[in-house]
Structure 1
Amino acid sequence: MALTPAPFGSALPSGWDAHVHVFDSAAPARAGHYQPVHRPLADIEALAAAHGVGHLVLVQPSVYGTDNRVLLDALAQTPGRHRGVVVLDVGVPDAELDRMHALGVRGVRFNLVSPVGNGPEAMKALAPRLAERGWHVQWYANPGDLATIAQLHQGSAVACVLDHLAGLHTLLPGQDLAWQGLTRLAGQGAWVKLSGWYRLLASAPYGLLHPAITRVAAQMGERLVWGSDWPHTFFASGALPSYASVWEPVVNALGHGAALRIRDAGARLYA
């Protein structure tokens, strides 16, 4: 089922897209990584609003490393409307963290998939200062990392958010130990982003992922958010999936009412 377009002239839609990236073709990108196409905030704002989504979570892409200027500049364009998840050096000054918080940053991304991402040691070093500000830790990880992440968050005051269905791809056996790791994380209060379907060995319309989506939803309860993963760096710039096509798996797997609640849950996680 497709998203319902918002009526022209209506108030800002309540829905949240909890995983998008913005790119500035003039900004320096890391050598040896993909070279992003220019994708400004205005493009995704217009696309999302036409489908009932008025709030975005801008996630720092690995291609920019710890240089968060593109993301922070985008947040400053519409104060209070959107939120951000950044990537940090462990030595970042407290004053910079406070400035980021004022702009709308609410989390820090740690990437165990990309070779240029921050990992567990950086998380442990930053965690006390993140907890002081009520920020969370967002993990882009493989299924085999879930047990390690659960251990890192044991007794931690910092909430955990797992990107892209926690990496639980279509070829993962139903009895894989990763599911035990997810169960442990669920007990610790972790959240999961329903996003990045094409990163999970699936193709549109992603029906092969419905069992995993349903199982994750049963474990996580109300701690689910949805993200489009726009602008879909997995694809060539001229072959991007439609916005509706990456929303429909949530509706088809969980039902329309549950899907809408998930789409609105960003208001709680990113308050």
Structure 2
Amino acid sequence: MAQVLVNEAPAAGWDSHVHVFDAERPVAPGHYQPVHRPLEAIEALAQAHGVGHLVLVQPSVYACDNEVLLQALARRPGRHRGVVVVDARVGDDELARMQALGVRGVRFNLVSPVGNGAADLLALAPRLRALGWHVQWYARASDLPAILAWHQRTGLPCVLDHLAGLHAELAADDPAWAGLRDLLALGAWVKLSGWYRLGAQAPYAALTSSVQRVATLATQAVAATGEAPRLVWGSDWPHTSFVPEALPAYDSVWQPVLQALGPQAAQAVRAGGARLYA
């Protein structure tokens, strides 16, 4: 594997969804056992594909123990960003430390067996607003109406993981599409990522029309502002749904965006992280 040199200039692209793991760190029982996956491994892989900036997302197996993520951010000051998992007991000093290291959001996981749910969102909301952080959701399509209600109540920015849970079998008239439209109107962002979590298999053609529809809705939501659609891409590396010996190729989870949107729009998505995670 190519090595990332300390002084090597990062490529311009953004990968908005990766995880890092330390095999010696305790994990929550009842889910997967992660393999050691350090920051340097994904930096080298991403840089080779024109991606120099990563968003490190706290995986569910570490619950509120964010130290692996925070230590990784500290090794590359200012280069990457983070999304953590916290509860209402987190101290203001700890939030300030996270902010200084590059954390820009908190994650609520409504899907994983050891996910954190959303019980602490309302208690955390005033402090998240003061920091300028967003709320990132790993959720099912059926959760979108509830997520909409939470954001109408809190006014916090919203980021929806993995195509907002809009899986390959979702009907064209499912209420989730209206929920997504309303969330986009509130300023939500959608991650084009996690294809294999949505009932699709490589090369993920079953989701092409859904990606195109999401992009259309995102474009309509900003039509009056002149902004680019609020879309980002994430690889979901190191693909915890797969055994370590059979990980998808890095470029294979980028190709669905390119195929669905075309080169110009796809590159705008890859650059979107510079706007969302500034």
Category of TM-score, reference length = shorter chain: over 0.9
**1:226 maps to 2:233:** yes
Compared with structure 1, are the counterparts of its residues 81 and 10 closer, same or farther at alpha carbon in structure 2 (3 Å cutoff)? closer
Find the counterpart in structure 2 of residue 112 from structure 1.
110
Compared with structure 1, are the counterparts of its residues 106 and 196 closer, same or farther at alpha carbon in structure 2 (3 Å cutoff)? same
Cα pair 1:23 1:70 within 8 Å, conserved: yes
Find the counterpart in structure 2 of residue 27 from structure 1.
25
3-state SS, counterpart of residue 238 of structure 1: helix
- The CA deviation at 1:224 is 0.2
- The CA deviation at 1:10 is 7.2
Match of 1:49 among 23, 44, 47: 47
In 1, Cα distance between the equivalents of 2:76 and 2:253? Answer: 25
**1:262 maps to 2:260:** no
The 10-residue stretch of structure 1 (155-164 or 60-69) with the greater mean CA deviation from structure 2: 155-164
Once the two structures are superposed, the pairs formed by residues 1-271 of structure 1 within 5 Å of their partners are 11-221=9-219, 222-271=229-278
Which residue identity does 2:114 align to in structure 1?
Answer: V
Which residue identity does 1:128 align to in structure 2?
Answer: P
3-state SS, counterpart of residue 24 of structure 1: coil
- The CA deviation at 1:42 is 0.1
Q: Which blocks of at least 5 consecutive residues in structure 2 are unaligned?
A: 1-6, 220-228
Find the counterpart in structure 2 of residue 5 from structure 1.
none
The 10-residue stretch of structure 1 (217-226 or 34-43) with the greater mean CA deviation from structure 2: 217-226
3-state SS, counterpart of residue 232 of structure 2: strand
Compared with structure 1, are the counterparts of its residues 10 and 68 closer, same or farther at alpha carbon in structure 2 (3 Å cutoff)? closer
- The CA deviation at 1:124 is 1.2
Cα pair 1:144 1:178 within 8 Å, conserved: yes
Cα pair 1:120 1:152 within 8 Å, conserved: no
Cα pair 2:28 2:114 within 8 Å, conserved: no
In 2, Cα distance between the equivalents of 1:121 and 1:39? Answer: 30
Which residue identity does 2:234 align to in structure 1?
Answer: G
- Percentage of identical aligned residues: 65
- The CA deviation at 1:119 is 2.4
Runs of 4+ in 1 over 4 A off after TM superposition: none
- The CA deviation at 1:144 is 0.4
The number of equivalent residue pairs is: 263
Which residue identity does 1:48 align to in structure 2?
Answer: A
Cα pair 1:106 1:270 within 8 Å, conserved: yes
- The CA deviation at 1:12 is 1.8
Which residue identity does 1:247 align to in structure 2?
Answer: W
Cα pair 2:63 2:116 within 8 Å, conserved: no
The TM-score normalised by the length of structure 1 is 0.95
3-state SS, counterpart of residue 217 of structure 2: helix
- The CA deviation at 1:118 is 2.4
The TM-score normalised by the length of structure 2 is 0.93
Aligned residues: CA RMSD: 1.1
